[in-house]
């Protein structure tokens, strides 16, 4: 007899000790067991491999009902509608004297080059340390056009190539570029990884292990960390004491924390071990997993992030890192794994 819990409200009762539940999601093609804490063996079949265009159900020969046929006249989301909107916008800009420009804002250009952050770049610009094509720039909002020569302190600035590194973070490393207390940081594990200035995407606390992405791509970082994008994360939690079934059901249904309501997308025991939990969340709130279990008085012995936005720990042992493939970067940017 197996028990599944999710936030849909359909929970089944289970008698601890008699039944041996396993962590299985509603989708039978996804099974999670002890592979959670074995980095070199953990893998999940990506959704893009499951979806096959040969699915006959998607290409039904049944006639379309007339009341389902939609007129695309004046529809802004149709091809004709988009073209019409573009023409209207172009004419409006033309009549108002608007001049189309391309390029990159100067502060973003400096940040992409690894000189500093955008906020720090604004300070450098206003103090007169940056020039474009030989002219000192002190106003914010200036755009750098293709072919422009940008200099900082008299030296030419070249845009950095984008770097994407996936780290299987070990315990006792803080997720920061530099620690005032002298503790080990994740950057100590990446000293020879690249010459570019990279930074962590999100944060794992010192005692949490697992997947951590580092990059110098600011746009992708925003997309992966902003709450509105809700990227999927899966954690393997080891508690000091067994998790009660009724507490698990409450976590699935939703609980109220100091910063609002939170509910697990999926949660269940791992291979029948009552103190080992697999939990899936889309929330990126600070220390959210620990706070969920602390709400019920449980102490977390181990916390490991095994899945992040479509990335897994496959062939990535603890403390090791690797570059993302081009396909993985494309999937992250296109939002294939929401």
Length of the chain: 338
CA atoms of 143 and 111, how far apart (whole Å):
13
From the list 205, 217, 268, 304, the catalytic residue is 205
Burial of 13 (C-beta count, 10 Å sphere; 0-12/13-18/19+) = exposed
Residue 55 catalytic? no
3-state class (DSSP) for residue 219:
helix
Q: Specify burial of residue 247 (Cβ count, 10 A radius: 0-12, 13-18, 19+).
A: middle
Q: How far is CA 4 from CA 1, 13, 207, 267, 269, in A?
A: 10, 9, 28, 7, 9
- Residues in contact with 217: Cβ distance below 8 Å, sequence separation at least 6, in sequence order: 162, 163, 164
Structure-token pair, residue 81? 């509608």
Q: How far apart are CA 137 and CA 233, in angstroms?
A: 43
Cα–Cα distance measured from residue 18 to residue 16, given in angstroms and rounded to the nearest whole number: 6
Helices 326-334 + 218-225 axis angle, to 10:
60
CB-based burial of residue 117 (10 Å sphere; 0-12 exposed, 13-18 middle, 19+ buried)?
A: middle
For the annotated catalytic residues, the residue numbers are 205
């Amino acid at each position: 007899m197996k028990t599944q819990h999710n936030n849909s409200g359909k929970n089944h009762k289970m008698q601890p000790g008699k039944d041996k539940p396993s962590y299985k999601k509603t989708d039978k093609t996804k099974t999670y067991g002890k592979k959670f804490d074995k980095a070199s063996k953990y893998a999940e079949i990506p959704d893009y491999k499951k979806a096959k265009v040969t699915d006959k159900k998607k290409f039904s020969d049944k006639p379309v009902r007339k009341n389902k046929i939609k007129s695309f006249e004046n529809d802004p989301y149709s091809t004709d509608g988009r073209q019409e909107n573009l023409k209207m916008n172009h004419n409006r800009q033309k009549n108002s004297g608007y001049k189309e420009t391309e390029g990159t804002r100067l502060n973003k250009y400096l940040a992409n080059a690894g000189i500093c952050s955008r906020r720090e770049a604004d300070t450098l610009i206003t103090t007169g340390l940056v020039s474009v094509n030989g002219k000192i720039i002190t106003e914010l909002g200036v755009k750098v056009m293709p072919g422009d020569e940008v200099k900082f302190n008299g030296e030419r600035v070249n845009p950095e190539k984008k770097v994407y590194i996936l780290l299987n973070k070990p315990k006792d490393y803080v997720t920061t570029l530099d620690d005032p207390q002298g503790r080990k940081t994740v950057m100590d594990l990446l000293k020879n990884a690249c010459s570019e200035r990279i930074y962590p995407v999100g944060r794992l606390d010192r005692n949490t292990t697992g997947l951590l992405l580092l990059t110098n791509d600011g746009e992708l970082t925003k997309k992966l960390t902003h709450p509105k994008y809700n990227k999927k994360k899966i954690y393997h939690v080891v508690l000091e004491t067994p998790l009660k079934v009724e507490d698990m059901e409450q976590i699935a249904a939703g609980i109220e924390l100091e910063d609002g309501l939170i509910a697990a997308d999926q949660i269940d025991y791992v291979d029948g071990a009552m103190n080992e939990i697999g939990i899936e969340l889309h929330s990126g709130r600070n220390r959210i997993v620990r706070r969920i279990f602390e709400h019920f008085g449980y102490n977390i012995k181990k916390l490991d992030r095994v899945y992040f936005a479509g990335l897994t720990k496959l062939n990535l042992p603890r403390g090791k890192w690797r570059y993302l493939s081009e396909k993985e970067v494309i999937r992250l940017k296109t939002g294939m794994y929401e």
